Amino acid sequence: MTHTESIKRKEWIGYFMFCMGFPIFNNFVDSYIDLYLTDIGISAAMIGILVGVAQIFDGLNDPIFGILVDKRPFRTGKYRGWMLIAAIFMPLLTVLIFTIPREISTTSKIVWAFVAYLLYTTFYDTGDVPIFGVPTVMTSKIHERNILTGRRIFAGTLTVIAVSVAAPQLYSKIGWGTAAIVFAAFGFALMIPFPLVLSERNYAKEEQITIRKVLTAAYKNKYLFLYNISILILKLTNAVLLLAPFVARYCLKNDIFSTILYAILMLPIIPFSLLIDKITAKIDKFNVLRICIAGCLVTSPLCCLVGYSNIPLLLIFGLLRGIFFGPLNTLMYGFTTDIVEYGQYYTRKRSEGISLSFQTFCSKIGSGFQNTIAMTLLALFGFVSGAPTQTGTAEKGIWILYTLVPCIGYATSLLLLRRYKLRDKYVQIMQSANMGEISYETAEEKLKAAGFEK
């Protein structure tokens, strides 16, 4: 049943606030959990295992949670109840992760960390899925949904910058536990209003998501599989943001440099997000993606050669790297809708939710193994958890992981993506056919004339 009631002002504001509050936890926990756990004496190799297993479990859990959301177990609507749960439990679990008693045994710390982080990743879905899906139940108007999506991206970018600036200042001065409480309080205050004022007024018939359907869609839609596997491989070695706090503390000898490293990597997102329409109007967005990957592949070794002893030069080359790195991290998840149009064109069946579930699954599996690979290699370089300084070998290992190792993923993904043939002009023709604006026979003629290869 669909209603045409307009979105209320308090809902616009509430959604923007929720989109600022929710990423606080993602950025603080995922960016700093490894450094924190090494601080309390857990080995890097063990951290890689426990964080990796929890994130992989979270990826496997996504289709299951999608089924729960579709069943609408709350009388208040499809998303309201889940967003309220996220607003309450995400702050509590964040504090639980960062308040492990230092006096307990190492085994007890490992168990505490694993259980707390596993619960965190599980409850993370209660906010992660709704934050993307709730615009569809707020309005049936496409332009309003686009505005909501734009606000989500802008709010998330502000949060990334704020957390990156504030976190090193807080944990280095007031401790991890108190810093977690501060972030939890801000996150709760920003998130809690929206589920209380949200009115779900628009429902469209959706395809039931199951694990079998997700895997079947990936098998039948070659571009869904090819693209997401390419991005998964890229992520496996791209632990740059995860390692930035380690570079700051052990290579540059000051935690505050973590703020600067994040800034030079992520600030380019702001102008890119404002200019993306103009850029992609002149250059196909897939080519922009390849330029960004190639740019990272070239600038990352340059950063390695500069080293970390000459800080001004390091920051200059780091900013050059960020010009490609920031936009890449924004753009890499902007192709699923194109792949959905391709799938519908050739199967006459739209599987948007299923395709998004496969994307999220691959992303989280990539993040899980990324953490495991980075922490295991850190241990092999001789990193000692809890030590105020590291050996020269460990410092160089951190630097290599931060600069050279990501190039493996960049190069491999570029090779795989050579087989990705979808371009904006082709997708536009397919979309016109899917919407009934032109016949499929006419679309086939247009695609053939445009040079599309199936």
DSSP states of 197-239: H----B----PPP-HHHHHHHHHH-HHHHHHHHHHHHHHHT--
The pLDDT of residue 2: 43
Question: Cα–Cα distances in Å, from 40 out to 48, 177, 374?
Answer: 15, 12, 19
Do residues 125 and 58 make contact, with C-beta atoms less than 8 angstroms apart? yes
Residues of each domain in the chain carrying CATH 1.20.1250.20: 8-198
Residues 6+ apart with CB under 8 A from 124: 25, 26, 58, 86, 90
- Just give the CATH number of 208-422: 1.20.1250
Write down the pLDDT at residue 66: 64
**This prediction's pTM:** 0.79
Look at residue 4 and give its three-state secondary structure. Answer: coil
Nearest to 97 by CA among 81, 111, 85: 111
Burial of 101 (0-12, 13-18, 19+ CB in 10 A): exposed
Cα 317 to Cα 299: distance, rounded to the nearest angstrom: 7
- Which of helix, strand or coil describes residue 44? helix
How far apart (Å, rounded) are the C-alpha atoms in residues 66 and 12? 25
**CA-CA distance, 79 to 258, in Å (whole number)?**
36
Q: Please give the chain's pLDDT, 454 residues, in tens.
A: 444 467 888 999 999 999 999 999 988 998 899 999 999 999 999 998 888 888 778 777 766 666 666 666 677 777 888 899 999 999 999 999 999 999 999 999 999 999 999 999 888 888 877 887 787 778 766 567 667 877 787 788 788 888 988 998 899 899 999 999 999 999 999 999 999 998 887 654 555 555 566 566 666 788 888 998 999 999 999 999 889 999 999 999 998 898 899 888 888 877 887 777 788 788 888 999 999 999 999 999 999 999 999 999 999 999 999 999 988 887 887 787 788 788 888 877 766 666 777 777 788 788 888 888 999 999 999 999 988 889 999 999 999 999 999 999 999 999 999 999 999 899 889 988 887 889 999 999 999 998 887 6
8 A C-beta contact, residue 128 and residue 87: no
Whole-angstrom CA distances from 110 to 53, 59, 413, 425 are: 13, 21, 34, 52
What pLDDT is recorded for position 308? 93
Please provide residue 202's backbone torsions phi and psi, each rounded to the nearest 5 degrees.
Answer: -135, 120
2 phi, psi to nearest 5 deg: -120, 135
In contact, 247 and 306? CB cutoff 8 Å: no
**Sign of the alpha-carbon dihedral angle for 21, 26, 27, 29:** positive
Rounded distance between C-alpha atoms, residue 122 and residue 385, angstroms: 27
CA distance 128 to 130: 6
Distance CA 145, CA 173 (A): 42
Cα separation, 231 vs 243, whole angstroms: 19
pLDDT, position 142: 56
E strands of 268-385, at which residues?
Answer: none
For residues 374 and 264, is the Cβ–Cβ distance under 8 A? no
How far apart, in whole angstroms, are the C-alpha atoms of residue 241 and residue 27?
10
Instruction: Round to whole Å and give the CA distance between 110 and 104.
Output: 10
> 376 CB contacts (<8 Å, ≥6 apart)?
44, 45, 48
State in Å, rounded, how far the first CA of the chain is from the last one: 37
Secondary structure of residue 267 in the 3-state scheme: coil
What's the rounded Cα separation, in Å, for the pair 395 and 386? 14
> What CA–CA distance (Å, rounded) separates 73 from 77?
8
| CATH code of the domain occupying 8-198 | 1.20.1250.20
Residue among 139, 69, 75 nearest 356 (CA):
69
Q: Are 354 and 296 in contact (CB under 8 A)?
A: no
pLDDT, residue 432, reads: 87
